Amino acid sequence: MDKRAELLELVKSTVAVGPVKLASGAISDFYIDGRHTTLTSRGLALTSELMWQRIKQWNVTAVGGPTLGADPIVAGILMAAAREGATLKGFLIRKETKGHGLGNWVEGPKLAPGERVVLIEDVVTSGGSAITAINNMRNQYQPEVVKVLALVDRQAGAVENLSKAGYEFEALFTRKDLGR
């Protein structure tokens, strides 16, 4: 079995039947928690490798995303890049500013103005969480977001909403790939 097919089977095995309330507020008949895949050794290895194969073609210097869903994926992509001798920075975006210290929105190495980055998500529904994360990041840094890349697109408006906001989006898998 090839790596993409193997990862798809892992993701499919974690789908829970609804109804469940999503971050967007919508009610769904199924739920995908990307961490059930990315917090396993094989799931993270496959996700990271497949994402890195795309990312390395985009001439970026950093990858990051909203904590908590992006955390393992960002770390895995950094490891995949390092295995190939590539230099890549990672960052994590808070849901709210840190209440002490420097009051950071973003954790990780400093991002230069205009630095080319990819925003990582585990599961995307409407794209609202990605847009919020980018807006939160812009409270601290002004990078160029080259792409939003997710493990799964639930196909509930993310492509359209992210495009309207000025961001390109793609996912390794879609709702259709999951047979939903």
**SS in 3 state form for the chain?**
CCHHHHHHHHHHCCCEEEEEECCCCCEEEEECCCHHHHCCHHHHHHHHHHHHHHHCCCCCCEEEEECCCCHHHHHHHHHHHHHCCCCCEEEEECCCCCCCCCCCCEECCCCCCCCEEEEEEEEECCCHHHHHHHHHHCCCCCCEEEEEEEEEECCCCHHHHHHHCCCCEEEEEECCCCCC
Evaluate if residue 174 carries a pLDDT over 80.
yes
pLDDT tens string 31-49:
898 999 999 999 999 999 9
Q: Where are the domains of the chain?
A: 3-174
Separation of alpha carbons 136 and 105, rounded Å: 6
- Contact indicator for 94, 123 with CB cutoff of 8 Å: no
pLDDT for the residue numbered 100? 79
Give the range among 16-20, 69-73, 99-103, 146-150 with minimum mean pLDDT: 99-103
pLDDT for the residue numbered 20? 87
Could you identify the residue written with the tokens 């890349």? 149
Separation of alpha carbons 89 and 77, rounded Å: 10
CATH architecture designation of domain 3-174: 3-Layer(aba) Sandwich (3.40)
